[in-house]
Chains A and B, each alone.
Chain A
Amino acid sequence: MKKTRTRVAILFAIIALIAAACSSSSDDATETTVASVSTTEAATDSTSGGSDFKIAIVAPSASNDLSWTQSMVDATNVLKESGIVSEVAVTDGTFVVDDAAVAIRAYAADGYDLVIAHGSQYGGSLEEIAPDFPDTSFAWGTKAETFGLPNVYSYEAASNEGGEVMGIMAAALSESGVIGIVGPIEVGDAKLFVDGFKGGVLKQDPAAEVLVNYIDSFSDVALASEAATSMIGSDADVLTGSAQMTVGAVGVAKAEGALWFGTNANQTVLAPEIVVASQVYHWEGILEEMIDNINGGVLGGEIFRIEFANDGLVIEYNDDFDLPSEVKQLADDAIAAFKAEG
């Protein structure tokens, strides 16, 4: 009986671990396990090009989160479709930094040309791992920090720019003069966006009230939802938010008829009735520069930044939302000003 119990326990543990390990995604994927985390690889046959450049991404949330992780996965798929890279492998859902570190190391050992650690929380791990693989190039963000290592690139997004543009529109559209922002943790890209959005609101309407709530979580959808409810209860009629937990806040905005501005990826699909516009990250431009550098023998040491000026940031409007032309003009003027500065 004891033997049977042990066997059953082992079998059950294996099934559980397989289920946990298989929880990554990509539509056309073949799946392989890398240590304790899962890896989903896009089909490896390049249809257009002859490039044999391989990119791996390690990211905290799902590949199709309509937010942070999706922005990078979309960018690498653009490069794959254009034949610049032959293979894109993704390990997503690595909220646990130690899991991410295992995947980063495994990809480097597997010979990927560029391993992207897509999260500012992965910096410490990268600093440890990169020196062990001097012939592999690594990139991470968002942070302007390469640790003085010759094989590490870093990248950041001027998310404050898109934040400001959308903040201007939010202030122009708000009838109550109260605007809410749901943030995750007050760091990095999210903080830049929140600060930019708030600045944009106050630039357009200095009398506006901006409610900011960092819920101290990137993943607590219920808390984000309650934060949005609280803001609407305080008369906010336009909301925004950064990071993947904001899907909860979008739902509340939709139910209450408040307007929503998205960031990272186009969030129109979440609520076509209320999403006005989204700031979309296009990392493909800076990734292409990195690839050129790597092919030229420079594996790191440079900091990249996406912004309006290099078309790394784009405001995508919801065609179904009837945006007044004067509000659109305000946004266009603000974008033009950023481009002129850049």
Chain B
Amino acid sequence: MSDVFTIAVLVAVVASAIRLAVPLLLASLGETFGQRSGVLNLGVDGIMLLGAFTGYYAVLKTGNVWVGLLAGSLIGLILGLASALIAVTLKAEQGISGIGIYLFGLGMSDLLFQKLVGTPIPIDTFPQVDIPILSSIPYIGEMFFQHSLVIYLAFAAVPLAMFVINRTTFGMNIRAVGEYPEAADTLGVSVTGVRYATQMIGGTLAGAAGAVLAISLGIFQQNLTNGAGFIAIALVYFGAWRPAGVMAGALLFGFVNALVLELKTLEVIPRDLSNLAAMAPAIITILVLAFAAGRFKAPAALTKPFTRGK
């Protein structure tokens, strides 16, 4: 047993956790913007799937992973715009319209894959970028500084999101619109404009999350995200609508997944407990959500459409 809990295993688990966390982190950061402005988008997984296919297909056609990331983000932006149109302008029930977006993304991504690609064809993946000096630090370097550029960018997006939400006028408007849209409107803030903007940010990041997933794996297949978009939504609650909390949640989820995987490979977890162990990430998420319930307040106007004068 002492052979199992070694530094090498820890390094492998942490590096794996970071890779697993990144698509969740990007998608849940985007959803954080939306929810802070009062709009719940349950269609994150569908946007991720279309972002994943678009990113994959763009790389397949151009051979350039950055074009793929851009294409996935752009399709996410368009779907974010569509989400805003449905939820903000048309004031559709947000939960139901989100499920519609999810189904649309699930079906359309597979349809496009079957019609345009067919048999899975591997694509180039993001190259690993070793951070000078830091990457050569024993253990630490391998865990944190030997990843692809998108992984560093995803984590850099966390302080950026914190800054935007907490330190800018735009962020203040987002918070105001999410808490008390009537007051924000009275003060001259465009509730519709802010909510459109957050949906477009959310869509772009969800599309990017899907593209990062597909390009990192170098492949696309039906339902590639395997429900990651729904986990991303749960992580927004888990993180109490704060970027740092969301990041902690994504890392915890990734860490538990990676740890279970490693322990199963090393046969520390008995085969007959394998199913139970596989549920561990979900169970831990539910426990933390239950613990967090009531301790943190959701944006007061979350899921409530805004109509001036009502």
* A244 with B221, Cβ < 8 A, contacts A220-B226, A251-B125 known: yes
Taking CB atoms, residues of chain A closer than 8 Å to B195 are none
- Residue of B8, B86, B103 near A20 (CB, 8 A) is B103
B193 within 8 A of partner (CB): no
Taking CB atoms, residues of chain B closer than 8 Å to A21 are 107
Chain B proximity of A296: nearest CB distance (Å): 37
| B97 close to A22 (CB less than 8 A) | no
A242 within 8 A of partner (CB): no
* A213 with B221, Cβ < 8 A, contacts A8-B92, A251-B125 known: no
| B217 close to A248 (CB less than 8 A) | yes
Chain B proximity of A196: nearest CB distance (Å): 16
Report the tally of A-B residue pairs with Cβ distances under 8 A.
167
| A64 close to B118 (CB less than 8 A) | yes
Chain A proximity of B306: nearest CB distance (Å): 14
B96 within 8 A of partner (CB): yes
| A8 close to B217 (CB less than 8 A) | no
Chain A 1-31, CB-CB to B under 8 Å as 1, else 0, gives: 0001100110011011111111111010000
Taking CB atoms, residues of chain A closer than 8 Å to B108 are 19, 23
Chain B proximity of A316: nearest CB distance (Å): 15
* A251 with B265, Cβ < 8 A, contacts A214-B271, A216-B274, A230-B12 known: no
Chain B proximity of A30: nearest CB distance (Å): 14
B63 within 8 A of partner (CB): no
- Residue of A12, A15, A270 near B122 (CB, 8 A) is A270
Q: When chains A and B are docked, how far (Å) is the Cα of A195 from the Cα of B38?
A: 52
Chain A proximity of B238: nearest CB distance (Å): 19
Chain B 14-31, CB-CB to A under 8 Å as 1, else 0, gives: 001001100100000000
B285 within 8 A of partner (CB): no
B121 within 8 A of partner (CB): yes
B266 within 8 A of partner (CB): yes
Taking CB atoms, residues of chain B closer than 8 Å to A216 are 274-275, 278
A327 within 8 A of partner (CB): no
Taking CB atoms, residues of chain A closer than 8 Å to B261 are 213, 215, 223, 226-227, 230
Chain B proximity of A63: nearest CB distance (Å): 8
A269 within 8 A of partner (CB): yes
Q: When chains A and B are docked, how far (Å) is the Cα of A216 from the Cα of B219?
A: 20
- Residue of B16, B114, B228 near A23 (CB, 8 A) is B114
A interface residues, Cβ below 8 angstroms from B: 4-5, 8-9, 12-13, 15-25, 27, 61-66, 93, 95, 180, 185-186, 211-217, 219-223, 225-227, 229-231, 233-234, 244, 247-248, 250-251, 254-255, 269-271
14 A-B contacts, Cβ less than 8 Å apart? A8-B86, A9-B86, A17-B107, A20-B106, A22-B107, A23-B222, A25-B118, A65-B222, A216-B274, A223-B257, A226-B20, A234-B266, A270-B122, A270-B219
Known: A12-B100, A22-B111. 5 other contacts (CB 8 A): A16-B101, A19-B106, A20-B107, A24-B110, A254-B122
